[in-house]
Structure 1
Amino acid sequence: MSISIRTTQVPHTSRVYSTALAFVPESEWNSSSNEIEWGNPDSYRIIKKVGRGRYSDVFLGVIENGKYPCAIKVLKPIKEERLKREILVLQRLARVSDVIKLYDCVINNDNKTHSLVMEYVQGVDFRTNFPLFTPREVQLYMKHLFSGLDESHKLGVMHRDIKPENLCYDKERDVFKIIDWGLAEFYHPQKPLNYRVASRYHKAPELLFEYTYYDYGIDVWGAGIVFATLIFRQSKALPLWRGATNEEMLQRIAEFFGKKELMNIIERCGCVVGKTVFDGIPNTADADFKQFINKENEEYATEAALDLLSKVLVLDMDKRFTASEALKHAYFKEEYE
């Protein structure tokens, strides 16, 4: 059930990279006017299955002519436009070092299955990896993440599903990749978009109250939730706020920040949330991240880390740090042994 009664929403333009695609040929971003050249899968061999998702199964493979490893993402039946958009996104981001590389697009002519052949990175599941990170490794991880996001945003691309499962990190080699661009979208100012993106725990507030004129800031909020998970050493790598529904997520966020500011933002965006959603929640709250500090995480949750967190987890999308601003923060200048 929808939690928002959508009225006439107020269009919004990102304060950064709003014209990133203004002079880019339409063929590089418009999936409806683009045809993909599909190759032959015979050059690749599947070794074993290494992952699965809602829209694909992922296999470790090899490129036969040189026996180089690769990841083969075998796609389940999805809309052609979405498939084309993911390919166009990966092609546009080909030179971004912290984004997974696309090698080839192939089709099995026997069963008409489409696959994306991609760079393979030997990563470790975040539930295993996160608890083992040192403060320095957390810093490196977040620097990679914000760098990858900033470079993608510069090119006019939003990931729209930032969460630990979509971040692959080989800490032994300090190799980091943002993966799974299946929900990604090209940003065009004041163009309404589908708000049903991102995973619930990592949704920015504007997605939760169903605003359609969001921008790159939804990726920054998702990165902030990942950062909070890392510095507060949440058991089982759980995110900061949890709710069984989008409505509960809005309530948890309002309890932390106070409902007055959130309600003002919802009204400013031209959205209307059900009258009872915020019942019993105070108008104002301390919004103090220090409440999450304990003996186990105090080494990670430094003053600079908390200050950065307070600037990326901001309700107002106009005041939320950009990825570029996050990279310039004092937290990334802290020295660790």
Structure 2
Amino acid sequence: MFAPDVRLEGFTHDDWQRLLNLFRPVRPPVATQDQPRGRGLVLALHDGGKLRKLLHSHVGRLRLDDLERHWPLTAQQLAGRHDASWAISLERGALEDIMEGLGARTKRHDDLTQQMLTLLSLIQGQLVRGRIDLWPHRLEGLPMPNEAMIQSTLDTVCPAGKTMVLGLFDGDELWTSMALRRGDQGVDLILGPDQIRRELGLLSGDFRRDHRHLARFVADYAGPLSLGCFAEHQTFRALEVDPTPGAWALAVAVRDVVLHPVPAAMAVPLGLDVGRAALSALREVAARLDPAGVLTPTLSAIRDVTLGQREVREVLGFNPFEVLRKLLSRER
């Protein structure tokens, strides 16, 4: 996925902080909670059927006396007893076996993607054997990706020589952005918002217009765009954990999220009609061949296309937006 000589440009400390906060799990508002929510992680280390160590991320080491007579407990039971939102029950030696397996199976030419897939496979093996127990099971039932699936997805979303960009705005400010350029050996450029802000100058405060300047700069600096996603950062954050079916498609339909360009092959996974993807491509061609804007009224008249009704599961085997929601929404 990443080229050996990948470059990171245009990130400050605040930019990294904003990017990480964008994917931080969201706790439901207190008013919507049916019961008090657990906090933190509880970790239990056991060996030979005996509890050896018990830690909580908020309070540190816990006493073993209360649990020893009830052991063994599942990770879910551990979380319930210690008011935690996450729990891990770990058999001594399991992590060492994972790292030994990773060292034995990793080849010299393996890239980061191959190494991560190997690591996930080893962790899954320990979960199946019962040496590791995790709770909650937010990704239960999700098929394990393989290298061919990842490669074909990248070829669909961002072919070699193309760039994809995420741009999030806060009024008249570019709140954060990240552009990934894919070369022949993988992603060779990760471009942040710091340099882009200086080039954009003053913005109008309407991201539906301002995103064009961002897209144009990224295309000139990194290369032609294959996929662009633009929104207000609060809207994007809310959509990440919105359980409403079709929330993303509706946001695109009312232009709370702007996708431009969007590959035709990505229309179904994104929950959009193929006609919208084709129209996006047509607009891009028209902008180059028709600088006078003769075609603009015609394109504007047909821009409201219907949303697709096909299930994402039919394409990928799972819904990527549902996976994102489960990862970022706190159920406890």
| Structure holding more strand per residue | 2
Structure 1 length-normalised TM: 0.24
| Structure holding more helix per residue | 2
Is the radius of gyration larger for structure 1 or structure 2?
2
